[in-house]
Structure 1
Amino acid sequence: MSENSPILSMPYIQQAQAQKHVTHNEALRILDGAVQLAVGSRQLANPPATAEPGARFIVASGGTEAWAGHDGEVAVSELGGGWHFLTPRTGWLAWIEDETQLAVQRGAPDGWTAAATDTADTLGLNTTADTINRLAVSAPATLLTHEGAGHQVKINKADSDQTASLLYQTAFSGRAEMGLTGMDDFSIKVSADGTTWAEALRTDGATGTVTLPQGAEVDGSITGTAVTQGPADTTPDRLIRAADGYVRGDILGQVSQSAGLPTGALFESGSSPDGTFIRFADGTQICAHRFQTSDTAPTPWTFPAAFADTPRITLSPASAAARLASHQGATLLGVDVNGWDIMGTRRTLYVDVLAIGRWL
C-alpha cells in the first residue's frame, strides 16, 4: 500500500504505526490548505513580512527566501511561523482575492490563468452557435437595456464594400434587410423569396438625400416645410399640395377669389342666347356675340354674364359693304349697338361685339 494519497499526497496511517495522530494531523493540515482554496494574491515572489496563520498565496515566478523553488505552488502560513507548500494539480480552482476573480491551474506552460475570460470563440444560449453565427440565441425575446443612461448596438464592417446590416428572415430565408449593404449609403431592401431583392429606400451617406427607387404610396397627408404652406407659398423646391396648386381637374370650372388669390378654377366659360363668355381666375371677363342691328333704333345687347365694372366695347361690322357700328349707354349688364352706312343712315347689319372687363 502506498504511503501517500495520489491526489493531495496526504499520508496514510500505516498498519501497526506508532503515533498515528501525527500522520492524521499532517493529512488534516494538507486538507485545510487545499479545500475551498482562496489566496490573497498570485503576484508575490517573496513572503510577506507578516501573515495570519492559514493565509495562502500562489507563489509568483522567481520565488525568494522561504518561497524559493516553489514557483506556482500554494504557500500556506503555519501557526507559529513558517510555510508549507501544496503542489497544485491541473484543474485546481482558486479565488484570487486581490483580483476578485477565479483562476484555474492549467498545467505547464500556462500555469494559473483566469478561469473566466471576456472572450469566447462561440456562445449559444438555448441553441448551438457555429463559426458563422458565433453568438446564437433561441428565445421569445432578447433584451439589451441601459445601465442608467443610453444604449447603443454597434455593427461594424471592415471596408465600405462590405456589409453591416440587420437581416430579417422567415424560415431562415431573407425577407428584408436594412443597413450598409456593400456601400456606405444606408438602404432598406425587401425580398419575396430570399433571392430576388428590391431596394425600397436609399439614403446617400454623404448628403443625406433620400431616394425611393420603387416609388412611394402615401395614404395619409404629407406635411411639414417640404410642402407648400398655403396658396400664396411660392418657396422654390417645395411640393405643391392639391389645395394650393392646380391639376387638370381644377383648370375648368367656376372661378372665385379670396384676398387676391384664386380659390376656384382657372377658367370658367358659358353661353346663352345673348352670346358666350369666359372668365379668368385673375378677374378678367370677356363676352362675345354676333347679332343683327335694327335700322330704326339702337339694338340692345344683354351681356351673357354681368360685369363688376363697365367693360370696354369693341364692334366689328360683318358686311362686304362699307358699314360702321357704334355703341352707347354701356352698363354692367349690357350695351346698345347701332349699325350705319357711311352716310350716317341706320342700317340693318350683323355686328361682332366684344366686351372686356372684370367679373369682380
Structure 2
Amino acid sequence: MSDLSARLDLPFIAPSQAQKHVTHNEAVQRLDLLVQMALDGFEATEPPAAPETGARFALGTGATGVWAGQDGKIAAFLGEAWMFVTPQEGWIAAERGGTAVRIYRDGGWRGFPDRTDALGIATQADAVNRLSVAAAATLLSHAGAGHQLKINKAQSDDTASLVFQSGFAGHAEMGLAGDDDFSIKVSADGTTWTEALRVDAQTARISGAAVQSAPTDNAAERLLKVGAFGLGTAISLTASDGLDTLVLSGLYYNPSAGNTSGNSYPISSAGALLVIARSATNVVQEFTSYGGTSAASALRKFVRSWGTGGWSPWLELYHSGRVMGPVSLSDGVPTGAIIEHQFVGGNGEYTRFANGTQICGTTVALSTSGETTWTYPAQFFTAPRVAAVLTGSQAAFARTLSNSNLSIQIGAFNTSGTRVSGFAYLLAIGRWI
C-alpha cells in the first residue's frame, strides 16, 4: 500500500507510527495549499524576496533561486521553507486579486475555453443539437434595454428557421426556408408540408395557401387581397362576358360600351356591376351605367335576380334626375324618363308617360266657314280620343271629322244646326307607342 493518497499526495499515518501529528499536520498543510486553490501568479520564475506565509505560485520554465529545478510545480511558502507539489490533470486554480481561472491540462495551466462544443442543460446535447435544454420554460431577457434572438445562415439558399415539434415530429416552421422570403409552413404528419404564408423579401407582398389565389377565389377561410371580389379595385369585364353565369359576389366593371348577343347586359353601355349572392341560385345583380353628363343620362341603374325560375328581366330604377325628360320604351320596358312635357308652338302642349300614355291639349278658334284642323303637338300611335269644351253663351255642340294619329278637324253648331264661331278647349288622350 502506498504511503501517499492517489490525487493530492497526502501522507498516510502508518500503523503504530510515532509522532503521528507530524504526518497529520503535513497532510493538513497540503490540503490547505491545494483545496480551493488560489495562486499569487502563474508562470512565475523568480521567488519573492520576502514571501508571506501561504504564498503560492505556479512555476514556469527556468525558475531561479530556491525554485530552481522545480519548473512546472506549485511552490507554497509554509513560513520557513518552500514546499513543491506537482499538479495533476484537471486541477483548477484561481488568480488571487485577478479574474483568471485556469485548469491544469496537457502539462500546463490553460485558460478555460471561450467556447464549448456542446452544452446540455438537464438533457443530453449531440452533434446536431449542440445546445439542448429540458425545462418548463426558457427565458432570454434584456440587459438594460431590448433583446434580439438571432438565427443566422451562411447563404441565401440555406435555412434559418424555427421548427415547432410534437413528439419530436415537426408540425410548423417559420423563417427563411431555402431562400430569403419569410414563410410559415405547417404539416399534419411531420412529412408533407404546406406553405401557408410567404412574405416576398423584395415587395413584402403575401402569398401562400392561406391567401386567395385570384380575386374571385372564394375558398373558405382564406385571407382577402386588395381587389378580392372588387374590394379596392373592380374586377374587369368585357362586353362579351356573359352575366348569366356570374353568380360570385363582388364588384365588377365593364370599361367599354357594347352589348353582344347572349351576355345579358341590360343596355349597351359601360358601367359597374354589383353581385350579391346568398347561394349559386339566389343572386341579385345591380348594374349602373355611365351614359353621359346630363342628369337624365349620367346614371342608369338596373336590377335583376336569380331564383328557382331563372333570371328575372332587368328592371330599371329611377332617380330624381330621370323623373322629367325624354320618355322612351324598349320591348315594353321604360328606357328614359318617367314624364315628358313640352309646348309645341301654336299646336299646344303634350305630356307623355313612361307607360305609353300621351295627353295633348290646346285652344282653337272656330269658324262659320268650315272645320278647323288641329295638328297634335306630338304624334299618337293611333287616333286618340278627343274632347271639346265650347266657349260662349249660346247653346252649341262640337263635331269632329277626319281624326287621325296626326290631326283632327272640328266645327261647332247651334241647336238649329247652324255653324257658329267661337273658341273650343280641346283635350286628346291616347298612346304614343
CA distance in 1, matches of 2:14, 2:223: 96
Q: Which has the higher contact order (CA 8 A, sep 6+)?
A: 1
Q: Structure 1's 207 and 72: CA in aligned 2 closer, same or farther, altered over 3 A?
A: farther
2:368 is the counterpart of 1:347: no
Q: 2:168 aligns with which of 172, 184, 191?
A: 172
1:219-264 alpha-carbon deviations (Å, 9 max, x no partner)? 79989xx689xx9x989xxxxx97xx85223753899xxxxx9xxx
How much does 1:267 deviate?
1.3
CA distance in 2, matches of 1:269, 1:21: 116
2:59 is the counterpart of 1:54: no
CA distance in 2, matches of 1:167, 1:137: 15
2:109 is the counterpart of 1:112: yes
Consecutive unaligned residues of structure 2, counting only runs of 5 or more, are: 213-218, 235-249, 252-271, 277-283, 290-294, 305-313, 361-377, 384-400, 407-429
Q: Structure 1's 72 and 197: CA in aligned 2 closer, same or farther, altered over 3 A?
A: same
2:277 is the counterpart of 1:247: no
Q: Where in structure 2 are the equivalents of 1:142-153 lying within 5 Å?
A: 142-153=138-149
2:40 is the counterpart of 1:40: yes
Q: 1:328 aligns with which of 349, 353, 370?
A: 349
Q: Structure 1's 327 and 204: CA in aligned 2 closer, same or farther, altered over 3 A?
A: farther
How much does 1:150 deviate?
1.4
Are the counterparts in 1 of residues 174 and 183 from structure 2 also a CA contact under 8 Å? yes
Larger Rg: 2
1:156 alignment counterpart: 152
Q: What's the TM-score, normalizing by structure 1?
A: 0.62
CA distance in 1, matches of 2:329, 2:192: 66
Q: Where in structure 2 are the equivalents of 1:1-360 lying within 5 Å?
A: 7-9=7-9, 25-48=25-48, 50-79=50-79, 83-100=82-99, 102-106=101-105, 108-109=106-107, 111-114=108-111, 117-213=113-209, 215-216=211-212, 246-249=273-276, 251-252=285-286, 267-268=301-302, 278-279=316-317, 283-284=321-322, 287-289=327-329, 306=338, 328-330=349-351, 336=360, 337-339=378-380, 346-348=403-405
CA distance in 2, matches of 1:113, 1:4: 27
How much does 1:79 deviate?
2.1
Consecutive unaligned residues of structure 1, counting only runs of 5 or more, are: 236-240, 256-260, 271-275, 291-302, 314-325, 354-360
Q: What's the TM-score, normalizing by structure 2?
A: 0.53
Are the counterparts in 1 of residues 196 and 210 from structure 2 also a CA contact under 8 Å? yes
Identity %: 39
1:271-330 alpha-carbon deviations (Å, 9 max, x no partner)? xxxxx984578945663359xxxxxxxxxxxx99745xx6689xxxxxxxxxxxx88244
Are the counterparts in 2 of residues 251 and 267 from structure 1 also a CA contact under 8 Å? no
Q: Structure 1's 20 and 269: CA in aligned 2 closer, same or farther, altered over 3 A?
A: closer
How much does 1:202 deviate?
1.5
How much does 1:121 deviate?
2.7
CA distance in 1, matches of 2:171, 2:3: 71
Residue identity opposite 1:92 in structure 2: W
How much does 1:347 deviate?
0.4
Residue identity opposite 1:247 in structure 2: L
How much does 1:338 deviate?
4.2
CA distance in 1, matches of 2:303, 2:178: 59
CA distance in 2, matches of 1:9, 1:35: 13
SS in 2 for 1:32: helix
1:46-97 alpha-carbon deviations (Å, 9 max, x no partner)? 33455422121212344344434333322223426x6332222223332333
SS in 1 for 2:185: strand
Q: Structure 1's 283 and 65: CA in aligned 2 closer, same or farther, altered over 3 A?
A: farther
Q: Structure 1's 145 and 119: CA in aligned 2 closer, same or farther, altered over 3 A?
A: same
SS in 1 for 2:148: coil
Are the counterparts in 1 of residues 197 and 206 from structure 2 also a CA contact under 8 Å? yes
Task: Please report the RMSD computed on the Cα atoms of aligned residues, expressed in angstroms.
Answer: 5.0
CA distance in 2, matches of 1:347, 1:139: 104
Aligned length: 300
How much does 1:145 deviate?
1.9
